[in-house]
């Protein structure tokens, strides 16, 4: 098919595709920056407002609860309004909420700002996946999803290096104002940069969400089940790795940053490169089903290196092994997102991804609580790393059980 013919059926040229992916990447990165500013300014805010540990915990839990609750409606919101409008509204809301932190004077006011921030930020992933499914052809989609999935990892590496010195130089309020204002700059680029986007083929940008059809579809429950199995690993690493390196290797507060940076650098590399294997396999004659599942099997086997971190005396080798696990997690996750965009009709993608995110948040809460129980009862980290090592093979088996043959969605 020639480019002209492809464009006539909906789609975009190379420049427009690059602009779309770049905007989605930056939006996802800003999402993570705004989310992390409060944690990075915790010592300053504690000193100024006299917060207790319970106050700070309340701020964190309010964000998680608000995000989980909002995700119940995010899929409908994005699928009903279309990704361009829905994402613009979401970034407006979370950027304003981020800036509103600078006006807060009490814990309750910070909680209110966090709740609104969480509500806006929960739109980012479902909107990004719907954009890829709606506007990008299959050949470009997997790499684009991998690149977009890199953004949170870049944020995890860069934000701690930039925000604290900025706050020291200009004050904590300026940190909230400037990071929030970046969202409005992005918004201008999004609104003007996507104004000429046309969906592929006959895919509508907006559609009524048919929940009965969606919940009766095995493909929906496949995505939910896979996210439940694998997202727990991400949350476990995010919440418990500093404690692991402190307990296992005796690293103090000042030394913990480097192994964590190594882990998330490898995670970023995993997200960045993970979009390449699937199209290579397709180009070599693999079917959609065999290419996708072979890619997933490769990453699921790589994750088996992660529990070996318990056997080494070196924190650096442990960081590399855990980082290799997150490298593979991102590869597997990109393939899950790609599979979703391929097999779920584009009009339902955001809703299905949102349901998967809810399942992932629930399993993440479960493993965080289980880690506390395991450590309290003397079992240590062994059960946790065992779960991490096996989660992806279990997820792949579940996919194959539910969908023995993956096929591209068409005309639904």
- What per-residue confidence (pLDDT) applies to 206? 67
Indicate if the pLDDT at residue 405 is higher than 60.
Answer: yes
Q: CB-side exposure of 331: number of CA atoms within 13 Å?
A: 27
CA–CA dist 15, 115 (Å, integer): 37
CA–CA dist 160, 141 (Å, integer): 31
Q: What is the pLDDT of residues 271-310, one digit of tens each?
A: 777 777 888 898 899 998 999 999 999 999 999 999 999 9
Indicate if the pLDDT at residue 5 is higher than 50.
Answer: no
Where is pLDDT greater, at 210 or 42? 210
Where is pLDDT greater, at 272 or 18? 18
Q: Of all residues in the chain, what percent carry a pLDDT higher than 90?
A: 36
CA–CA dist 202, 199 (Å, integer): 7
Q: What is the pLDDT of residues 236-258, one digit of tens each?
A: 887 778 778 888 998 765 566 67
- What per-residue confidence (pLDDT) applies to 7? 36
Q: Is this prediction's pTM over 0.75?
A: no
Average pLDDT for 224-235: 93
User: Of 14-28, 247-261, 317-331, which range is least confident?
Assistant: 247-261
The tokens describing 318, both together, are 């442990």
- The answer to whether 325 touches 392, Cβ cutoff 8 Å, is no
Model confidence at 2, pLDDT cuts 50, 70, 90, reads very low
Q: What is the pLDDT of residues 136-147, one digit of tens each?
A: 887 677 778 777
- What per-residue confidence (pLDDT) applies to 8? 37
Q: What is the DSSP code string of 270-311?
A: HHHHTTSHHHHHHHTT--HHHHHHHHHHHHHHHGGGGGGGGG
Indicate if the pLDDT at residue 103 is higher than 90.
Answer: yes
């Amino acid at each position: 098919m020639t480019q002209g013919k492809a464009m006539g059926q909906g789609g975009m040229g190379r420049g427009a595709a690059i602009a779309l992916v770049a905007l989605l990447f930056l939006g996802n990165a800003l999402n993570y920056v705004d989310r992390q500013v409060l944690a990075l300014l915790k010592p300053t805010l504690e000193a100024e407002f006299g917060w207790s540990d319970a106050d700070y915990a309340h701020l964190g839990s309010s964000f998680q609860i608000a995000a989980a609750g909002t995700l119940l409606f995010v899929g409908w919101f994005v699928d009903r309004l279309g990704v361009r409008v829905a994402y613009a509204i979401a970034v407006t809301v979370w950027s304003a909420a981020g800036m509103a932190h600078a006006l807060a004077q009490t814990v309750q006011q910070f909680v209110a700002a966090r709740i609104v921030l969480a509500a806006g930020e929960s739109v980012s992933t479902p909107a990004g996946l719907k954009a890829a499914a709606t506007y990008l052809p299959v050949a470009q989609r997997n790499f684009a999803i991998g690149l977009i999935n890199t953004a949170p990892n870049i944020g995890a590496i860069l934000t701690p290096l930039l925000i604290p010195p900025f706050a020291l130089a200009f004050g904590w309020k300026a940190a909230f104002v400037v990071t929030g204002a970046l969202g409005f700059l992005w918004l201008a680029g999004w609104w003007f940069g996507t104004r000429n986007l046309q969906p592929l083929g006959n895919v509508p940008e907006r559609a009524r969400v048919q929940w009965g059809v969606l919940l009766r579809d095995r493909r929906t429950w496949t995505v939910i089940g896979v996210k439940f199995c694998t997202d727990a690993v991400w949350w476990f690493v995010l919440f418990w790795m500093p404690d692991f390196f402190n307990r296992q290797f005796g690293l103090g507060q000042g030394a913990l940053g480097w192994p964590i940076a190594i882990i998330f650098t490898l995670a970023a590399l995993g997200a960045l490169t993970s979009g390449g294997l699937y199209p290579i396999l397709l180009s070599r004659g693999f079917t959609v089903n065999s290419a996708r599942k072979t890619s997933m099997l490769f990453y699921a086997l790589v994750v088996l290196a992660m529990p070996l971190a318990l056997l080494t005396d070196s924190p650096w080798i442990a960081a590399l092994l855990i980082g290799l696990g997150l490298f593979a997690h991102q590869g597997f996750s990109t393939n899950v997102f790609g599979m979703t965009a391929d097999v779920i009709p584009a009009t339902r993608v955001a809703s299905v991804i949102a349901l998967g995110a809810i399942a992932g948040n629930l399993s993440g809460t479960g493993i965080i609580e289980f880690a506390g129980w395991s450590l309290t009862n003397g079992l240590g980290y062994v059960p946790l790393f065992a779960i991490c090592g096996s989660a992806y093979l279990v997820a792949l088996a579940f996919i194959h059980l539910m969908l023995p043959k993956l096929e591209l969605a068409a005309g639904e």
